[in-house]
């Protein structure tokens, strides 16, 4: 029997799949998240997402549909990963203050020998933040496990003046694109 496997520990991705009514199993995969130099932001997240899919395939039956994703924040073409400590988070948020950055997510759907990888990019415009606002946000604790040191779905929404593109992509999973990808594997989300 075919079933959907989400190869991600991200609670946000799990929440988003639940919001659109998909039933799935979660597995945890360890894969190398390094990537070759010189890739564009979209090529980077696609490369990492595909590597996660290859690692997850060994844990799935050939008929299972495996979903993997990788989300990264880019400012001036440079990746902002998860902060290593509060000082790093402060540095990232200060750099994002008053500027527009991009959030790219690579999504891979695979089943047996068939693999489809796509990417979605959203432009995010930050408000101008003073030191007090950044310190207050850091006290929420949201920064430490998120690329770019913020999450748009809670207190981080107070930092964002606007977005251009898929909101859910900024949370970690572009749902519209994903639904179109799943249709190519026979899964209709709006059935």
Q: Which residues are catalytic?
A: 70
Burial class (CB in 10 A: 0-12, 13-18, 19+), 45: buried
In whole angstroms, give the CA distance from residue 94 to residue 32: 29
Residue with tokens 């179109």: 180
For the beta carbon of residue 164, count every other beta carbon within 10 angstroms. 11
CB-based contacts of 129: which residues, under 8 Å, 6+ apart? Answer: 93, 94, 97, 98, 137, 159
**Residue 174 near residue 15 (C-beta atoms within 8 A):** no
């Amino acid at each position: 029997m075919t079933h959907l496997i989400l190869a991600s520990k991200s609670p946000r991705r799990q929440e988003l799949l639940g919001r659109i009514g998909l039933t799935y199993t979660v597995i945890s995969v360890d894969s190398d998240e390094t990537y070759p130099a010189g890739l564009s932001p979209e090529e980077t997240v696609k490369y990492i997402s595909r590597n996660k899919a290859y690692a997850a395939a060994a844990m799935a039956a050939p008929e299972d549909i495996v979903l993997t994703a990788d989300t990264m924040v880019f400012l001036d073409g440079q990746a902002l990963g998860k902060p290593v400590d509060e000082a790093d988070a402060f540095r990232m948020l200060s750099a994002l203050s008053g500027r527009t950055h991009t959030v790219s997510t690579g999504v891979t759907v695979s089943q047996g020998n068939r693999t489809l990888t796509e990417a979605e990019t959203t432009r995010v415009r930050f408000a101008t933040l003073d030191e007090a606002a950044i310190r207050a946000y850091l006290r929420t604790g949201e920064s430490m496990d998120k690329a770019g040191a913020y999450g748009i779905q809670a207190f981080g929404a107070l930092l964002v003046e606007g977005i251009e593109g898929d909101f859910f992509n900024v949370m970690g999973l572009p749902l519209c694109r994903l639904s179109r990808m799943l249709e190519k594997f026979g899964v209709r989300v709006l059935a």
